[in-house]
Amino acid sequence: MNLKVSQEELDTLTLKPETIELAANLVKINGYVIIENAVPKEKVSELFTSFKKAMDWFIEKHGHDVYLKAKGFNEGTNHLGIFLPFEAPFNDSLVIEHPFAMAIIDKVLGPEYSVTLFSSNTSLPGGQKTQPVHADYGARFGDQCQVSLPITDLVFNIPLVDVHDGNGPMEIWPGGTHLMPDSWYGPNAPKPEDLAQYMQSMKVHMPAGSILIRDVRMWHRGTPNKGNEIRPNIALIYSSVDRDNRVQIPQETYDNMSPRAKKLFRWQKIGFPAIEPTHE
Ligand SMILES: O=C(O)CCC(=O)C(=O)O
């Protein structure tokens, strides 16, 4: 169930200690938490307008090739992952260091984490099939490790439109699929696709401007968008272990960031121009 926090918490952008505790515990036990209305409506609408422009630009420039190569975007799922330029409005502090997210992530990962992905996932209209059920990252130690490892990587999603059954909600298998031995995320593990059909899942419904924080290991899949409008999720990953460092940040942009944001992006490519929207 989604968390609806108090008006005071929304107005001050500060979660009460008991809400932080609850949200962090839900991530630990259930694999995810959703807090509704965490990003103010005006900010969501600004993000959506710019996102739509970026997506239109991408499809105009690269869509034809990507579409044809895969007989429909990504094999007909019409799901597109697009890396975002590190510039306004995408690098807004409510996106990269949302106070709710920071408080919860501090509690789950401890203080020494950083951003390792700055991207987006969109279910485009016209998808013909679901994605395969998957975890976002594989095993850290191949087949070797038979115990469950601590949470090290959390995806942070912001839906830019209301998400419902009609526009391609993410489907998730919460409650345990993030807690398995490390080897279960490796290539020789039982296939999620074979097991998931016999397990409990749910479609993630959430209003635009919610925040979704999830363990990368929790099984999930994108579903087809039956509507006429794109269904984008902004997607960042916060990691307490070394990962990618491909986010390009112009020096001046970096110099003007808050101390916390500087720390979050410290391993990224500082002093490089912001990228064009690029296929993941
Ligand atoms: O945003 C979604 O619906 C999920 C997308 C996803 O899991 C993926 O593209 O790997």
The model's confidence at residue 271, banded by pLDDT at 50, 70 and 90, is very high
CA dihedral 218, 219, 222, 226 (to 10 degrees): -100
Give me ligand 1 centre to Cα 259, in Å.
Answer: 31
pLDDT in tens, 174-208: 999 999 999 999 999 999 999 999 999 999 999 99
With a 6 A CB cut-off, is 233 part of the ligand 1 pocket?
yes
What is the DSSP code (8-state) at residue 274?
Answer: P
Looking up tokens 């298998």 gives 173
With a 6 A CB cut-off, is 232 part of the ligand 1 pocket?
no
The atom of ligand 1 lying closest to the CA of 157 is: 1
Give me ligand 1 centre to Cα 250, in Å.
Answer: 28
The model's confidence at residue 62, banded by pLDDT at 50, 70 and 90, is confident
CATH superfamily of this structure's domain 7-279:
q2cbj1_9rhob like domain (2.60.120.620)
- Is there a contact between 119 and 235 (Cβ–Cβ < 8 Å)? yes
The model's confidence at residue 70, banded by pLDDT at 50, 70 and 90, is low
